[in-house]
């Protein structure tokens, strides 16, 4: 089964941690290079609208036909009108040995969360009530009140790994494995944090190191620099047991070092990056590598269009259009007229 959602996640909140005390979460979205993300506003009738990104295949083969976890229209990262935001990373978990009640579909939980939940506590309770989900994910949640939580959810249950607030400041980092004591034993061996061959530990440690250097002044700009970092980029991506040709740096330039490639087995790398600022209602988005570098090899598809900057989008157009979906960018990295209007009066932030 093809997997998707290989990512690095970072979150921070509270006085003495972020510059303003607000909650911030960020991520890189790692996928095969022919799977991209685009930004859109969703206006569900009678429910909370939200702005965020969606995964889309650039080939004639749909995500479902490729065996992806996501469904058409599913939000992969987002922030809703109430100021609740989330981002997530796929967990490489073991297959359950015994039959259990059918877990909730992760995409359905996310849809309910974005359209109905208003706070981090609401979202945590939604996952707890579900009890289990498929596929397995590590989820960061943040809201406009300054709450920040790390939830792990999969076939083996749900764990609230961290919950910080303005009164209880903190930082959290997540990658493609379980980190909580409750669920860490259910990681696939190749995905375990202690496995030095995969990229989970080095990406997480690098993110922690960079964030600790700026603790007390973390903001959108520092998050952008962290998500654009290339430490460990010299390691050979072909040695990664999780996904060969998927690299080791946060801003991930995965490659086989070739100009030709098998269409059904492209290397993985960062196809977009996101910073969510719930208190301001902003979804900051960078298409392609957030560092803005140009591709070195032909198997790094679409990366020549990398923005190298984070553009802030909001729910400004929500409710002002009869369409349920308003596309703000395209899978090729163009900003639509609606997107240009949405972001026109706000400045972008460089990833370098």
- pLDDT tens per residue, range 258-283: 999 887 788 999 999 999 999 999 99
What span, in angstroms and rounded, lies between the C-alpha atoms of 243 and 190?
10
The mean per-residue pLDDT over the stretch 312-320 comes to 85
Name all domains of the chain by residue range, CATH numbers in brackets: 6-350 (3.60.60.10)
What span, in angstroms and rounded, lies between the C-alpha atoms of 143 and 119?
6
Percentage of the chain exceeding pLDDT 70: 96
Q: Is the pLDDT of residue 186 over 80?
A: yes
Does 135 sit behind a cis peptide bond, omega within 30 degrees of 0 on the bond before it? yes
* 3-class SS of residue 163: strand
For the entire predicted model, the pTM comes to 0.96
* 3-class SS of residue 191: helix
Question: pLDDT tens for residues 190-201?
Answer: 999 999 999 999
Q: Is the pLDDT of residue 248 over 50?
A: yes
pLDDT of residue 2: 44
Question: Quick one: which H or E segment has residue 285?
Answer: strand 282-287
What span, in angstroms and rounded, lies between the C-alpha atoms of 248 and 230?
8
The CB density around residue 322, as the number of other CB atoms within 10 Å, is 6
pLDDT of residue 1: 39
Order across the sheet with 137-143: list the strands: 157-164, 148-154, 137-143, 84-90, 77-80, 50-57, 35-42, 325-327
What span, in angstroms and rounded, lies between the C-alpha atoms of 230 and 251?
6
């Amino acid at each position: 089964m093809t997997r998707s959602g290989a990512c690095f996640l970072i979150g921070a909140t509270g006085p003495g941690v972020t510059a303003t005390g607000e909650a911030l979460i960020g991520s890189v979205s790692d996928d095969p290079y022919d799977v991209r993300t685009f930004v859109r506003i969703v206006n569900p009738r009678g429910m909370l609208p939200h702005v965020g990104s969606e995964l889309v295949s650039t080939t004639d083969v749909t995500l479902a036909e490729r065996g992806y976890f996501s469904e058409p229209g599913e939000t992969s990262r987002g922030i809703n009108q109430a100021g609740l935001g989330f981002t997530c990373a796929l967990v490489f978990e073991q297959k359950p040995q015994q039959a259990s009640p059918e877990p909730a579909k992760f995409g359905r939980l996310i849809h309910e969360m974005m359209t109905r939940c208003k706070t981090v506590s609401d979202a945590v309770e939604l996952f707890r009530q579900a009890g289990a989900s498929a596929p397995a994910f590590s989820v960061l949640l943040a809201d406009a009140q300054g709450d920040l939580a790390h939830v792990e959810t999969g076939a083996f249950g749900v764990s609230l790994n961290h919950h910080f607030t303005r009164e209880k400041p903190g930082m959290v980092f997540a990658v493609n494995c379980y980190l909580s004591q409750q669920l860490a034993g259910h990681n696939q061996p190749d995905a375990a944090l202690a496995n030095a061959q995969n990229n989970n530990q080095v990406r997480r440690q690098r993110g922690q190191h960079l964030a600790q250097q700026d603790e007390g002044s973390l903001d959108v700009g520092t998050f952008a620099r962290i998500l654009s970092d290339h430490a460990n980029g010299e390691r050979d991506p072909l040695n990664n047991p999780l996904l060969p040709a998927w690299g080791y740096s946060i801003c991930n330039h995965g490659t086989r070092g070739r100009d030709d490639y098998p269409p059904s087995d492209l290397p993985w790398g960062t196809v977009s990056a996101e910073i969510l600022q719930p208190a301001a209602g902003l979804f900051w988005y960078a298409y392609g590598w957030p560092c803005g570098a140009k591709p070195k090899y032909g198997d790094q598809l679409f990366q020549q269009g990398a923005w190298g900057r984070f553009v802030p989008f909001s729910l400004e157009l929500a409710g002002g259009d009869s369409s349920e979906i308003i596309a703000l960018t395209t899978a090729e990295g163009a900003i639509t007229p609606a997107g240009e209007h949405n972001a026109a009066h706000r400045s972008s932030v460089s990833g370098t």
